[in-house]
Structure formats: structure tokens, C-alpha cells
Structure 1
Amino acid sequence: MTPGGDAKIVQFRTYMPLRYRAALAGIGVATVAVLLLAGQMPLLAVFVAAVFMAAMTMSVRVQLDDVGLSIRVAGLFSTTVPYGEITAVSAGPITGFLQGMGLRILPGGGTGYLVGGPTVRIQCSNTTVLVSCADTQRLVTGIGARI
């Protein structure tokens, strides 16, 4: 229970699917190897390795509390959606590399907080939010119970 509230805080954390992490690891290792074998760019190789490691460990965190839901992706980008603004919630499409990872501007408007895999579509009064979630049904049900 939260102080002054009657709903408990529920969190969902979704990581990039293993197949995407494996693909990024392969590309990253190959890129770093080429840079190191070239011998003239070791600092660039370290930077590239760090970028690939950050991308491979990217996750989305969704937190449901008394007043709304908070979404954070890659530890950098976040938003809060008050329950009063949500008009509908449903399972969304499965996303991957083509749709991009991290904070995305969606075709046709709206914002995506994506790491690949299943998503939940949150329709608000003035926008759409698409968020990656491994347990879409549980998140849809959790939001639906609060709106």
C-alpha cells in the first residue's frame, strides 16, 4: 500500500529479447575487432564497445501507482501518463530492429518506448504511447483496472 492510496505500486521491467542482444553482440564484437586490428583506433573501439553494451542492456520500466503510470526506457527517457488521460489500452504489435529501440516517434504520431518484442498500446486523449512489455496481458489488465 502507498501512503494515502489504496492501490499498490506494480512494476514491469522488459529487456531486449535475447535474439536481438545476440545479433547486437555479434555486430559489436566484429566492429570492435576490425577497429582493433586496424591498430590506429583503440579509443574508438572502446567507445563502440561501450555503445553496444549499453544498447544490449537496454530495458523498459513501467510503474503503475495511484495516479498514473510512469514509463522509462534506456534509463534516459521517461514520461508519466495520468490515468485520467487514458481512453483505451490494448496489446500492440510486436516490434524489432525495423521499428527501432529506445525513445521513438511513431509513424502517424505518438511515442514509442521500445526494446523489441511485444508491446502495449496506450491511447490517450491527445496521443498514443506504445511501450514494450513482455507480459502484455498483465499490463493491459493492470491499467484497465485503474482507468
Structure 2
Amino acid sequence: MNTSVVVRVEDRSVRVRLGRHKVSIPYEQITEEAVGPRTSRWQIGRRRLDDGSTGYLVGGSSVRISAAETSVVVSADESYRVTGAIQRRLQHVAEERVAGTEQSGR
């Protein structure tokens, strides 16, 4: 079985896809992102994890994204890079929000 998880760090959200299962998490809702737990190959697929989060898993290293309405654990070979990309995008979105607030407050 050749299954993979696709994580896309887009302009307004992080999109995750595993086969026909997908989720989009807007940056405004993200409360935390971090390198997640190492998962086993037997956990492959989309599944509810013990902590209530949804796993999009193929085994190996992962990224945990917590948001206002959901929490996901996503398999990612380079979890540190994925986490860093999300952090940079979150910072950029926050800076845009502040700049927009300052401009509209004039």
C-alpha cells in the first residue's frame, strides 16, 4: 500500500489530505503547532487518537496542529520543517493583521 499524507502551508490555511480525507485549518484558528509524536505503521489512515485529536497517519514523525475547533496529528517526514513553515506563516498572517488594523485605524 502506497499511502501518503499531503500537507500544504497555503496563504490562509494549512490543508491536510490523506486519500479522500481532508481538512483545512485557517491560521486564525490555530492555537498551537509542534512536532508531534512518532507513530507506528499499524496506525496508518485517518483515525481518532486517544487524546481526541484526529490522526492523518502513515507512520513515523508527525506534526500536531491544535485549533479552536479541532486538533490534528499529521505524519510528516520532516516534521521540524513543516512546523517551522507553519510558524513563519502564522507570524506573517499576524503581521498582516496588525498592519491592516493600523491602516484602518487612521
Place the TM-score, normalised by the shorter chain, in its bin: 0.7 to 0.9
SS of the residue aligned with 1:121?
strand
Matches within 5 A, 1:1-147: 56-73=1-18, 75-98=19-42, 100-147=43-90
Map Cα deviations across residues 32-66 of structure 1 (whole Å, 9 max, x no partner).
Answer: xxxxxxxxxxxxxxxxxxxxxxxx20000011111
Q: Specify the alignment match of 1:7 in structure 2.
A: none
SS of the residue aligned with 1:66?
coil
Which structure 2 segments of 5+ residues have no match? 91-106
State the TM-score, normalized to the length of structure 1.
Answer: 0.59
CA radius of gyration, larger in = 1
RMSD (Å), alpha carbons: 1.1
Which structure 1 segments of 5+ residues have no match? 1-55
Aligned residues: 90
**Alpha carbons 2:46, 2:57 under 8 Å: kept:** yes
Percent identical among aligned pairs is: 39
**Structure (1 or 2) with the greater strand fraction:** 2
State the TM-score, normalized to the length of structure 2.
Answer: 0.80
Cα separation, 1, equivalents of 2:51 and 2:88? 28
